[in-house]
Amino acid sequence: MNTLLYALVSALRCHRWLRMLACAFLFTSLGNGLTQVLVFGLLLDWQAPASLLTLAYLFATLPGFLGSLVGEKLCHSFSPITLLVATECLGLAALLFPLLGIHFHSITALLAVHSTEAFLSGMSWPALTLLFKRGLSEAELPAATCLENIIFASQVLAGTGLGIVLFHSLPAMTLVGIDALTFAGSLLMLMLAGRSLPSLAPYHAAETARPVAMRWLTLTPQQKRSLLLLPALAAVGSPAMALLPALAQQIEPEDAAGLALPLLFARSLGQLCGPLLLKRDSLPHFASQNRLLLLCLGLFLIAYGVIPLLSGVQILGVVFLAHLASNIVFAAGTFSVLSSFQATEVSSASGKAWRWQTVSASLFTCIAALVAASLGPMQALYSVSTGALLMVAGIMLRYRQ
């Protein structure tokens, strides 16, 4: 067996702290997925306009820019596990926003929880990457790539699946209570992971080394390319993901929530399965091939482009295939950052990649929202994502290996 999943299983068997960390983020992802279903479900039930549904994606990404700056700076003074515990505590406190939103029927409060989660995700990303770099050997980095992908996908895979089942069956307040329980479980797992961290003794030298300031002009072409892969994915994928609820509203105006929530689940399932198709030994080669990565992004865009021609289960299948392709690029981008930088640089590199990804997603989401308001969601998808794909092709050509 040479798959990324097998590499992850092997690493989990060797490191108790990694097992506890994985459990912690699965708990958090479950809760965040529930929150996402709750927010989008209520927005659709309250008949929010298409432009606002698109901007909701912006509020779920842009604060991550500031969060990554904070997380990168704090990594210089605190251990990664301490920062991860802090983000979970703040995430638990942020559940006050949906409570206020439900009680006062406030769209602003619902969007605030998205912004807070984005900030905390950006804050935790440098700490998580640094922990992987210090705690795992070079040969085990594909396992970290696989785990990051599972964390990313399960945020709405498990949570969305459960949310779809429970959204119209339980009161909204009860869903928030379940979310709070998942955060409590995550905090417990992180504390158990912290007790296992003395096993990282061979890597403690990296913890005491002073961070190295990164300058773009001093980076190698490979390092520059690794920093640009995730922003490139965001440029092509963000308009489509931001427009997904609005597309559902256009296709099924009488039952937008009934279509949008299964679409979110299909999207997340594709995000989970895509990188698992890759082999561990072939990941470095795949991550260096511009042609293959552009092919994946092109397939993603084509899949979304044929949505208006389909219906029902066919739409779910196409969305699944689209994100199967896009998250292969996500796996390549996360692996490139982990493998291209030393332990003293990786928190800074991952923070920059996260910020550039956030700026890219926010910029193209804003453009998509403006175009959707005047021309409609499908026209916005065709024009904005196609333009982004051409731009990405030019960037990859500039930094080809």
Scanning 46-140, the segments in alpha helix (DSSP H) are 50-59, 63-74, 80-93, 96-104, 107-135
- Does residue 9 sit in helix, strand or coil? helix
Question: With 0-12 CB in 10 A as exposed, 13-18 as middle and 19+ as buried, what is 308?
Answer: middle
**182-202 pLDDT, tens digit each:** 999 999 999 998 887 765 544
Q: Which pLDDT score is estimated for 154?
A: 66
Which residues of the chain register pLDDT less than 70? 1-2, 50-51, 53-55, 57-58, 152-157, 198-213, 245-246, 248-261, 400-401
**84-141 tens-digit pLDDT:** 999 999 999 988 998 888 888 888 888 888 788 889 988 998 888 888 888 888 888 8
Q: What is the DSSP string of 321-386?
A: HHHHHHHHHHHHHHHHHHHHS-HHHHHHHHHHHHHHHHHHHHHHHHHHHHHHHHH-HHHHHHHHHH
Q: According to the model, what pLDDT value does residue 86 have?
A: 93
- Residues linked to residue 279 through DSSP beta bridges, in sequence order: 3
The per-residue pLDDT for 20 is: 92
Question: How many whole angstroms separate alpha carbon 149 and alpha carbon 327?
Answer: 8
d(CA 49, CA 259): 16
Q: What b/e readout covers 173-185, taking b as 16+ CB neighbours within 10 angstroms?
A: eebbebbeebbeb
Helix locations, 136-220, DSSP H: 141-166, 172-195, 204-208
**pLDDT at position 257:** 59
Instruction: Report the interhelical angle of 16-45 vs 221-251 (nearest 10°).
Output: 40
Nearest partner of 214 among 126, 288, 334, judged by Cα: 126
- Rounded distance between C-alpha atoms, residue 183 and residue 82, angstroms: 15
Closest CA to 187 of 261, 86, 46: 86
Confirm if 39 and 116 have CB atoms less than 8 A apart. no
Q: What is the pLDDT of residue 208?
A: 44
- pLDDT score for 202: 42
